[in-house]
Structures are given as C-alpha cells and as structure tokens.
Structure 1
Amino acid sequence: MNDLSKVLTTGGDGMLGSYVNFGIKTNRRSLDITDLKEVRSVFQNHKPEIVLHFAAETDVDRCERDPEYAYFINSIGTYNIALVAAELGIKVVYISTNAVFDGLKNGPYSETDKPHPTNFYGHSKLLGEFAIKELLDNYLILRVSWMMGGGPSKDQKFVSKIINQLKKDGTKKINVVNDQFGALTYAKDLVEAIKVLINEDKRGIFHLPNSGSSSRYDVAKEIVNILNLNIDVNPVNSSFFNLDASRNGNDRLDSSLNIMRSWQEALREYLESEWK
C-alpha cells in the first residue's frame, strides 16, 4: 500500500504518534477509544484502510495502581478498535510489549513463545492482542521494548529519566539497575519499519525492537558516553527501587524480521537530534 493518506492513527499526539506525518491522526479529544459508538462513527467518517493503534496506557506503575483503568484503555479500547475494524474491513497495526512475557526464559523471546505476563500492564496489553487475533484476519501485532522517542516534550520513559537525572545540577553519580536486560526501541525507527511492513502487506505477530541487547545499566553508560559527561553510573539490583509493578529480568525479544538498526546507533541519533 503506497497511499498512506488512507491510514488512521490513534494516539497521534503521543511518543510514537509524533513520528507519523501521514494520513489521519487522532488523539483522545478527537477519538475516545473506550466509546464504541464514537470509534464506529470516526471510522465510518474517515474510511481508513489501515488503523495504526498507538493509543495506550503505558505507565506500568499506574497500571498496577489502577488496573481497572489499564484494562479500560488497553483491553476494552483495543477490543473496540478491532470490532469496528472487522465490521468495516480495516487492517489494524497494534503495538504490544515485551511485558506479555514473564522474563524467566534464559534467552530472547521469540514471536512464537507463549505469553505469560506478571503485571497488570502486560496482562491488559495481552488481552488487547487476544481481541485483535480473535476479531481480525488482517492484522499486525508488533511487540516492542524499552521505547524511546519524542524528545523532552514526549518522552517519559527510561532514557528520558536517565537524561533528566544526569542534567540535574550537582549530579556526580546515578544508580541504575544492572539485572534487567532488553533492547531499546526508537519510536522513529518503529514508524519507518511499520511503513515498510504495510507496503509488504505483512500479517501476524512480530518483534521489532532495535537490534542487540543490553542491561539498563549499559544503556545509561552509553548515554553518559554520548553526552560526554563526567558522571558515575552505579550498578544496583532491581530491589533498590521501590516500584509498584514488578519488572522482568529478561525483556529481550528476538525478531524474525531483522530489519532494525542497532540500539546504540539509534540511541546516538536520538540524543544528538532530539535532546540538543
């Protein structure tokens, strides 16, 4: 599909949606995904051929504190999108997460591994996957991990938190966990990959983080190196931080597509182009 004007994006003003410069972009004001009638009305009005379903609650700890809200947005909202898309013959691209797995596997998770989430965020996103697979024949489920993107105004994830810690006046040392392993996903790269997959009419479940893997400690060290800062990064284990939701030790995802550049290259571009 070369006509991207027929693509509608939910969550168009979020971290991932900020890199979409084509088609119809909606946000929570113009499309409440939890309102089935509104979803149907918007889809019937715009008549998209493909929906990029980016709208989600991705704050893992908020989902743990308020699971009803997590399910409302991530599960019911996605069900509504899938139901109307099925009625109207629309393809859906759904962004899922490494959190659908339990993190107990020794190696990276493949696209065929059985999900087993350990927190409410992962479970709510997995229910979204179930809705997509049950209601649609033409879909893409793309699992990603450790998302970064959007710069200072959009990014509230790990990379942004590390940068903000490093930039505080007087900072000489930061503590970062060294027992959680995964891979960054640059939102800009993900959107470009989605365009390729749409043009190739790919269907099914795929993992799409940037290539390679590391600990969160390794990522923080790389950020310090790229920013040329004289600040120590102190490795700690996960129990050092008192978080509402459990975190997996293994967030690594194996991608059969193998189309994403290295996380180091993506991180450098992100910092140098969007955090000046």
Structure 2
Amino acid sequence: MLVIKSKNKLTEDLNKLGEDLKLGLVPTMGALHQGHASLIQRAVDENEKVVISIFVNPTQFNNKEDLDKYPKTLEADIQLISTISEDIIIFTPEVDEIYPDSIEPKIYDFEGLDKVMEGEFRDDHFNGVGTIVEQLLKVVKPTKAYFGEKDFQQLRIIQKLTKIQHIPVEIIGCEIIREDNGLAMSSRNERLSKPMRQKAAFIYETLKAAKIKFGMENALNVKDWVINEFKKSDDFQLEYFDITDVETLTPIKNKINNIKYRAFIAVYVEDVRLIDNIALN
C-alpha cells in the first residue's frame, strides 16, 4: 500500500506506470464505509491500477461546524482499503497542497445543474466540488473515475465538468449502497444515535412510496404527499423534496413520455443532514 501526500510525488509515481495503463480513481473524503468499498472494488475490477484520494475538501462545506465535525479516520480507512487490495495508491494531501494560496473555489458555469436542490441550500458547494475534482482528474489522469449515485446531482455536475474542462475520462456512476434498514450509507450516519439511525429508515420508505404514487398520480400531488408525511414527525425536518428530469435536473411540471425522472430528498435528523434519491421510472 502506497500512501502519498504530494501532487508532485503522485505524478512522478504514476508516470512510471506508463501511458497505456488502465487507471481508476475513487475520490473520497475519508470516513470510508461499505458504500465506498463498493466503489473501490468496482475500480479494482475494471482497472490495472487504482488511486483512492482521501481529502476533506473545505471549499464544499458551507457550514464550518459541519466541516469541523466531519470524521477523520485515516488509519481505519487504510485498513478497509487493504481488505480490498494491497496494490492501491492512496493520495492524502494536506489543505495547503490543494489550496497553496487561498482556500477559495474556482467558479464554474454548470448551466443550471448547480442551482437546484443542493445548490439552492449550499452556496458555492458545487464550485468547491468542481475545484477538487478537476485537480484530481488532471493530476491522476484516470481512465475511469467512480462516484456514488447517492450524490446524484454531484455525479451529473462532474460529468458536466469533464465536458466544459475537456478532461478525457469516463465518469462511472455506481448504485447506492444501503444499510439493512434501507438508509443510504453515509459517513454522517455515524453521528446519529442508534435509535434514530433505525428510525431514519423512514426516509427511504417514503421515497419508495413516492415512487409507487408517481406511477399513478400527478407529480405535484406526490410532492405534497411527501411534505405532509414529514410534517407528521418531530424527528425529521424536511429541507427539500424534488422530482426532476434525470438529465437536466429540471424540476418537473408535467410528466412527459420518454423522460426519465428521479426524486431527491434532504432531511435533518438530530441536526445531521442526510440526502437520498430514487429512480422513478
């Protein structure tokens, strides 16, 4: 297992591997769980060499308290990675390696993909995501890069990023991995009490019910139903529920044949912000 902290060292070691090598990249912020493990396993299966980045990126947090609370578990992360493969490069830069001058994100034009849902509630979040992902893609130069569909809006934005920045890489979206009760796996789940972690299954159960209703009812009625379901519980504070076109992330007005839709949700549970989504058709 090779752990590297500098971009120059990473570039130097990758150059030794040759230009035609199939190289996979899995960007993470650490606190790895089985959802990350599934991304890493797929990368290992599909490439000759894999780079895992572990970097808690400050420019994608609009809440400093959230940044401060984000778990840092490097030793445990390395242990988990080693159970998948010992032949992996782990890139763990310090903040000043990524932001040598000032901790500021680049500004991108994502053509509206960043203005809805997460973008509406998290200022500059996707500029921060784009800044770190662009650096990683340009340093590693992977054949394929892997991202989980739990952050589906992020996945779409990264696909847009590679087009507007002309980065030759295949962006692979991987299915959401869930806990036994259906809760989407997330590093943030560790901050929930055990009873509430079980109760949080309500989020996915509501999404599944919304999917059934979407097949039979008007989309705006489905949205109203979800909002009312969350109003019934003091344990959950719904931040948003939206149904959008999968490609453009445009919120639905009327269903259109041959358009694929997805439902997105953000909920506060014990002051922990959780997101999830589900394909509707």
TM-score for the superposition, normalised by structure 1: 0.35
TM-score for the superposition, normalised by structure 2: 0.35
